[in-house]
Amino acid sequence: MDCIVCKGELIKKEINHIVDIEGQIIIIKNVPAEVCKQCGESFFENQVALRLEQIVEEIRSNKAEITIVNYYDKVA
Ligand SMILES: [Zn+2]
């Protein structure tokens, strides 16, 4: 698979995914992604993207200002 932005090469990497929704900041660490070597854009597999959405929904209901979680703690 190539980067859809610049057609650069994608490499598998674990990244920190940061979400900022209405002042609530959620940091999910060690998310498996494919990152473009050229432009730095990151992509998630469908399964990972879906899980991230669920994690964000779950955390949003806590109403905490900042939450930091580890992806692998949430998928285990
Ligand atoms: Zn790219």
Question: Is residue 22 one of the residues assigned to a domain?
Answer: yes
User: What is the number of domains present in the chain?
Assistant: 1
Question: Is residue 52 one of the residues assigned to a domain?
Answer: yes
Domain of 50, in residue numbers: 14-30+44-75
Residue 74 predicted with pLDDT over 90: no
Please provide the average confidence, as pLDDT, over all residues in the chain: 95
Q: Tell me how crowded residue 61 is: count the other CB atoms within 10 A of its CB.
A: 7
Distance 48 CA to ligand 1 centre (A): 20
pLDDT in tens, 10-24: 999 999 999 999 999
Distance 53 CA to ligand 1 centre (A): 23
Confidence of residue 55 (pLDDT cuts 50, 70, 90): very high
Question: Is residue 26 one of the residues assigned to a domain?
Answer: yes
Distance 12 CA to ligand 1 centre (A): 13
Query: What would the mean pLDDT of 24-50 be, rounded to a whole number?
Result: 97
Question: Is residue 25 one of the residues assigned to a domain?
Answer: yes
Distance 54 CA to ligand 1 centre (A): 27
